[in-house]
Amino acid sequence: MIFTSFFKALAQMSDPRFRRVLLMGVGLTIALLVAATAGVLGLIGWLTGDTSTLPFIGEVTWVNDVLSWGGLALMLVLSVFLMVPVASAITSLFLEDVAQAVEDRHYPGLPTAPRVPLGDALRDTVGFLGILIGANIAALLLYVLLPFAAILIFWGLNGYLLGREYFQLAAMRRIGRANAKALAKRNRGKIWLAGVLMAMPLSIPLVNLVIPILGAATFTHLFHSAQTCRDQSVHKDQYRQG
């Protein structure tokens, strides 16, 4: 189920709607990171001013420059870790287009799914972004304490988060939020494993920027497979009871 879904998604990567979502997600991500860096540097400049006073030394003018360059270096380092989580969260705003493209090609008999209201999409995106950034920043400590297991922690953490979010986004379009959570609970092992397979390429530069699109398409297939299995199980139970 997982590999079949993945290869179906991979075969559709040339779809124009996929490219549109990719370009919008990456563009907005870069803009957000640049704005965040500018904000941090501006805050440092506002807090330190042109000069600083040090004990036993007096006024100095180079502290602001050191802090500014240090802040810039910190943001550059953080951007390496945050680029993918931020891109994933922002891209989730547009993943409905990816899911629709998948369904148009592979599930043409389905009725048109109602679009998620913009307010709900923004709320989910902000929540997902906060969880992704918070979890990955917290994981930095584990990377330092357990460097030999850093890559496994990265894969496991982001696999869980990406799998949960993308399956939820694909499922709630068709069966609503509550039913999507229930279906995800029934298939959490497969969802986590599929998420880990999505998270593995996250450490490959440039390739990692395509993962949100590929993940959304893959989990759309996974949702339909899981829903079909659930429906068949329900029908079997009803037949036995009848």
Rounded to whole angstroms, the Cα distance separating 115 from 99 reads: 11
Beta-bridge partners for 52: 60
At 46-93, the pLDDT tens digits run 655 554 454 444 454 544 555 555 555 555 555 555 655 666 666 666
For residues 195 and 97, what is the distance between their CA atoms, to the nearest angstrom? 20
Residue 111, SS3 per DSSP: coil
Q: How far is CA 64 from its chain centroid?
A: 35
The tens digit of pLDDT for each residue in 151-164 reads 888 888 888 888 88
64: buried, middle or exposed (CB in 10 Å: 19+, 13-18, 0-12)?
A: middle
**pLDDT for the residue 168:** 85
170-229 pLDDT, tens digit per residue, is 888 888 888 888 999 889 999 999 999 888 887 676 677 787 788 888 999 999 998 888
Condensed to tens digits (0 to 9), the pLDDT of residues 8-34 reads: 888 888 888 888 877 777 777 677 667
Greater confidence (109 vs 55) lies with: 109
- For the chain, which residues make up each domain, given as ranges? 2-241
pLDDT of amino acid 72: 52
CA-CA distance, 2 to 223, in Å (whole number)?
11
Tell me: pLDDT of 235 over 70: no
